[in-house]
Amino acid sequence: MDKMVIRGGERLLGQTRVSGSKNAALPILCAAILTPEPCTLRGVPALRDIRTTRLLLDRLGVKMSADAGDVVIDAKNLSGHEAPYEIVKTMRAGVLVLGPLVARLGRARVSLPGGCAIGARPIDQHLKGLEKLGAHIRLEHGYVEAEAPQGLKGAVINFDVPTVGGTENLLMAATLAQGKTVIANAAREPEIEALAEWLRAMGAKIDGDGTDEITIRGVTELHGADLPLIPDRIETGTLMVAAGITQGNVLLQNVRLDQVEAVVDKLRQAGLVIEPENDGVRVVGPHKVRAVDVRTHPYPGFPTDMQAQFMALMCINDGLSVVTETIFENRFMHVLELQRMGASIHIEGRSAMVRGTPFLSGAPVMATDLRASASLVLAGLTAEGVTEVQRIYHLDRGYERLDDKLIALGAKISRATQDTV
Ligand code: UD1
């Protein structure tokens, strides 16, 4: 098992390119199940979650081949209809095959994802929506069994919460349903718009994506598509914090500033200078970070996936910042680890009171999930001495070569094998 060893205190300088969006790629790869024609998605990052999706699609008889980030998915010989527990337990996004499988084959058997480190994360809204579309759903032996032998039928679906994965699953399912579907209280994340754009390129009739009401008019078949992936907005935010926390000066390429407005807003309040230039976005870290309160919300609010990284930045100022998590109930696991590095943080319910200190001190810490591991790496970049982030495999699920990118900007980072006791 790898750990990351970071010697803190280097200013990050230079330029780096943001990779394609993991969370946009995962549903789009699953959407290719909807057609027997080959599809090409360009600029796909090399990540563990992408490899897991490939494994899952392979089990279903779908072929996926990659050439330097251009991925071809061919579901002509779609034969299986089961997403097994071993795969869905390591990557919740495995449930995203549910909608496409029922739409194309009339049935699916998908493992329930169960709990994960950041909270319970149910899929009741996905199932309620599929039932509305006429699927018969049973829960048996830890699996969702969904059947719609006569095909799905358009309906009005009103989500109780704006769920990203639920909106994606239902959006995909409704493309091949008979008649009109309306998804109300839909999630508005850029990844939903990216999926809708991809489905439209496949021949789907979709309006309203990017708003909280999406209308889908079902078609009888979809065809192949060929599109590039949007940049990863969470990697964008993470690299911005990396520049900010090290008083760096970094040019980020492949950035969609319109998709990271809430994060940029908060980072500017914290003192970072973030300005578009001809070939990217310049990010300059302040001499002294200002304390800023932040509260996570569904898009276009501040993303829960940036909460841990923003908290790392708030650890090094001389004020008090209140960081409130409203999306997931257990997303403060990085707090104990940041405290081991000298951070002064006190949790009260869903809020963390972060009292900034002039500096953090390097320590051995443990990554517990994807974004928590990013926050520990960021803290390590500014800490005095050496930080060892153990269980770094969490980071590799969702960031493409983050350490290489940081090293190219001047960070002192290496990987080593973790000692086992
Ligand atoms: C997606 C992202 C994840 C991000 C999250 C919130 C992917 C692969 N993952 O996860 O990185 O942190 O959005 O922006 O894109 N909920 C229910 N019932 C459901 C579904 C969700 O109660 O059926 C609740 C969840 O417990 C959570 C909230 O709704 O409290 C939002 O979850 P959701 O938007 O579904 O997150 P994911 O799609 O799993």
Q: 123 phi and psi, to 5 degrees?
A: -125, 25
Distance (Å) of CA 46 to CA 22, 52, 126, 377: 9, 11, 28, 20
Output b/e per residue, 22-44; b: 16+ Cβ within 10 A: bbbbbbbbbbbbbbebbbbbebb
Cβ of 328 closer than 6 Å to ligand 1, yes or no, is yes
Catalytic residue among 30, 39, 116, 315: 116
What proportion of the chain, given as a percentage, has pLDDT over 90?
Answer: 92
pLDDT digits (tens, 9 = 90+) for 41-98: 999 999 999 999 999 999 999 999 988 899 999 999 999 999 999 999 889 899 999 9
In this prediction, residue 418 carries a pLDDT of 74
Q: Which of 306, 192, 232 is nearest to 45 (CA)?
A: 232
Distance 275 CA to ligand 1 centre (A): 31
Distance (Å) of CA 5 to CA 23, 48, 350, 366, 412: 27, 21, 31, 12, 8
Cβ of 412 closer than 6 Å to ligand 1, yes or no, is no
Q: Where do we find the tokens 């699916």?
A: 108
List the structure tokens of 24.
Answer: 């946009």
Cβ of 302 closer than 6 Å to ligand 1, yes or no, is no
In this prediction, residue 115 carries a pLDDT of 59
Ligand 1 atom nearest the C-alpha of 49 is: 8
User: Could you tell me if 224 and 202 are in contact, meaning their C-beta atoms sit under 8 angstroms apart?
Assistant: yes
In this prediction, residue 113 carries a pLDDT of 86
Cα angle vertex 262, ends 358, 196, to 5°? Answer: 140
163: left (phi over 0), alpha (psi -120 to 50) or beta: beta
Cβ of 23 closer than 6 Å to ligand 1, yes or no, is yes
Ligand 1 atom nearest the C-alpha of 124 is: 23
Q: Which of 132, 134, 179, 138 is nearest to 159 (CA)?
A: 132
Distance 420 CA to ligand 1 centre (A): 34
**C-beta atoms surrounding 202 within 10 Å:** 22
In this prediction, residue 419 carries a pLDDT of 73
Residue stretches of the chain with pLDDT short of 70 = 114-120, 420-421
Q: Answer yes or no: 116 catalytic.
A: yes
Cβ of 231 closer than 6 Å to ligand 1, yes or no, is no
